[in-house]
Amino acid sequence: MLKLNGYEIILASGSPRRKAFLEKLHIPFKVKVYPSDESYPSSLKGIEITEYIVAKKSEPFKEKIRAKQIIITADTLVCCDNQYLGKPKDVEHAKQMLMFLSGKFHQVITSVGFLTNKKFDIISEITNVEFRKLTYDEIGYYLKIQPPMDKAGAYGIQDWIGEIGVKKINGSYTNVIGLPLSQVIERIQFLTKK
């Protein structure tokens, strides 16, 4: 169990998966989300994109943060063949994304921001994932039973499509879900130590 030493954790994410991860740590936290623009300059690549978005998500908190508060922001992106896949716009877009990822290696990039009243730090993690060749029927079935509209790359590794389609993973499993938990724990421990 993490000792927070009087610190208050605020998760600035509406992701139910990120919330569930923090609940597993058995630490008290609050969820506070401000609307955010997830656009980024086209000159950015890979980790630069997620780190840029994480910094943007922390902006609304900068004027309001108090001593002994830690605001956690996060962003996840999928990269395949130099194309960046965020959340799908609709079911057809999700289908196109999954067909594009089918039979290929891709990277899942997550950046996590930690804002205190003294500083802002970002950690980033990359996990390599390989999908086997997925059939049209499998993709259609997945989109019907577990619509992935809130997931980067249009899939959840913990979902049915991940269970039957992921051939290989190299790196953090929790990163693919949206939060590299071991790194997050280390950063919280560092920020809250006496």
CA–CA separation, 174 and 184 (whole Å): 11
- For the chain, strand residue ranges (E) read 8-11, 29-31, 69-80, 83-85, 105-115, 120-131, 166-170
Instruction: Specify whether 137 is catalytic.
Output: no
Q: Write down the catalytic residue from 37, 75, 90, 121.
A: 75
Residues β-bridged to residue 129: 106, 169
Closest Cα partner for 154 from 80, 82, 64?
80
The separation between CA 65 and the C-alpha centre of its own chain, rounded to angstroms, equals 23
Residues β-bridged to residue 115: 71, 120
Is-contact 176 169, C-beta < 8 A? yes
The label of the residue with tokens 């063949």 reads 81
Residue positions annotated with a catalytic role = 75
